[in-house]
């Protein structure tokens, strides 16, 4: 059997357990990662385990997506040596991907890029949600499928941190000195004009099961070896402190007219005396430091992130139909990778999750908090003031809301 065809015949059936952040960086611990590597330097983990990421994706899965689903044109890109291929070369007149043309271009050396494939592949969706739970940020997950010996993008840096998981084949990576720009903002995205990479400081080959982490601003490039390469790149779209500070000042300006006053007329004219303007500027900065409540902005960012999380709740239709079976003694399982908050508002305790606020009487609080701390609960065995019947009512509601599921 030709070697290229072998890649397409492999599949991810009978695959290992789902992949989460801890398994991505293993054997390194999360604590070590955040202390030694996060936003500091690149990390490479090599494993002699080609099936390590097989539960996430396979070349056969890519073939199924491209050839058996109607993929809108905006859900795929094709590039060759850093240059995008015009969409009309691989799309139908109706705007969908033409799998025949895609296959031909791939065979001629073009890389297939599938942004947001987690919307179509359940295992990828679960992986992304587990990463969201750790980092509490939006993710940009791209799939890169590169022909042997080809290069999708030239030497560059990203304005977001990335985790690269090698799924099939292999790819050679180069890391360069990156002293020009540390931790770039999204507004400081890479510009190829006039760019010169620094000295080569590391080179390595990723094989199936290997991973690397590249902080934003670290200059790198990659090229497939003499075999096909399939890898997953997950970018962290992290809010920066400057984002929170600017938002906090904007919110303060809504209630404090001092920030809404006009800057002095004539400030752009030659010879303008800035003495008073400088003092006003300094006074406003001091006023912001004095009046801004950090928790208000932090609460807003946390609430905003929780509210944008779309529920991923397999089997919820049947869970809703069967919710009446939630009775004392029944075992329930909390949905994985929930990001939630519990607060008391007046005489109610409110669970914020999936962009929804689920309210209960205040006396439910202790039982609710205990339930949300556990992976599995037995109806009637929670702490607090709720009796068995009350716990059944509360948990039945949480099943209907997609927070818990019948085992």
* 356-361 sheet: strands from edge to edge: 340-345, 348-353, 356-361
Residue 5 has a pLDDT of: 55
Length of the chain: 407
Residue 169 backbone phi and psi in degrees, to 5: 65, -155
Distance separating alpha carbons of residues 81 and 152, to the nearest angstrom: 5
d(CA 217, CA 125): 27
Q: What are phi and psi of 5, to 5 degrees?
A: -65, -30
Tokens read off for 376: 């599995």
The pTM assigned to this predicted structure is: 0.89
Instruction: Look at residue 90 in the predicted model and tell me its pLDDT.
Output: 96
Same-fold call for 3-237 versus 316-406: no
- My answer on whether omega of the bond before 92 falls inside 30° of 0, hence cis, is no
CATH architecture of the domain with range 316-406: Alpha-Beta Complex (3.90)
Alpha-carbon distance of 390 to 357, in angstroms, equals 20
Separation CA 213–CA 316 (nearest Å): 35
Q: In the prediction, which pLDDT does 15 show? A: 47
- What are the residue ranges of helices labelled H in 205-341? 241-253, 275-291, 294-307, 316-321
Region 3-237: CATH code: 2.60.120.650
Q: Domain boundaries in the chain?
A: 3-237, 241-293, 316-406
CB atoms within 10 A of CB 229: 29
Counting as low any pLDDT under 50, the low residues of the chain are 1, 15
């Amino acid at each position: 059997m030709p070697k290229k065809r072998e890649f397409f015949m492999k599949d991810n059936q009978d695959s290992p357990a789902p992949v989460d952040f801890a398994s991505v960086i293993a054997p390194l611990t999360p604590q070590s990662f955040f202390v030694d590597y996060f936003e500091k330097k690149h990390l490479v983990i090599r494993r002699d385990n080609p099936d390590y990421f097989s539960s996430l994706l396979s070349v056969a899965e890519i073939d199924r997506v491209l050839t058996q689903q109607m993929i809108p044109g905006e859900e795929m890109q094709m590039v060759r040596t850093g240059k995008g291929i015009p969409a009309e070369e691989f799309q139908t007149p109706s705007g969908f991907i033409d799998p025949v043309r895609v296959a031909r271009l791939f065979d001629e050396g073009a890389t297939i890029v599938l942004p947001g494939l987690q919307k179509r592949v359940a295992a990828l969706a679960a992986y992304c949600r587990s990463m969201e739970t750790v980092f509490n940020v939006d993710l940009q997950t791209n799939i890169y499928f590169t022909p042997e010996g080809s290069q999708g993008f030239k030497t560059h840096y990203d304005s977001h941190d990335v985790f690269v998981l090698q799924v099939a084949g292999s790819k050679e990576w180069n890391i360069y000195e990156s002293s020009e720009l540390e931790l770039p903002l999204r507004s400081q995205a890479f510009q190829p004009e006039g760019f010169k990479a620094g000295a080569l400081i590391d080179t390595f080959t990723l094989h199936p099961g290997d991973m690397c982490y590249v902080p934003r601003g670290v200059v790198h490039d990659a090229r497939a070896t003499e075999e096909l390469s399939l890898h997953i790149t997950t970018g962290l779209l992290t809010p920066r402190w400057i984002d929170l500070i600017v938002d906090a000042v904007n919110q303060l300006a809504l209630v404090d007219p001092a920030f809404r006053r006009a800057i002095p007329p004539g400030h752009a004219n030659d010879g303008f005396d800035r003495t008073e303007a400088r003092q006003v500027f300094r006074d406003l900065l001091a006023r912001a430091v004095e009046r801004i409540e950090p928790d208000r902005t932090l609460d807003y960012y946390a609430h905003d992130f929780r509210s944008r999380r779309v529920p991923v709740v397999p089997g919820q239709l049947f869970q809703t139909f069967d919710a009446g079976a939630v009775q004392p003694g029944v075992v329930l399982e909390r949905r994985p990778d929930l990001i939630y908050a519990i607060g008391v508002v007046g005489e109610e305790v409110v669970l914020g999750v999936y962009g929804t606020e689920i309210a209960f009487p205040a006396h439910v609080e202790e039982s609710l908090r205990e339930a949300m701390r556990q992976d599995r609960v037995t109806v009637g065995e929670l702490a607090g003031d709720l009796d068995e019947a009350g716990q059944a009512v509360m948990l039945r509601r949480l099943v209907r809301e997609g927070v818990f599921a019948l085992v």
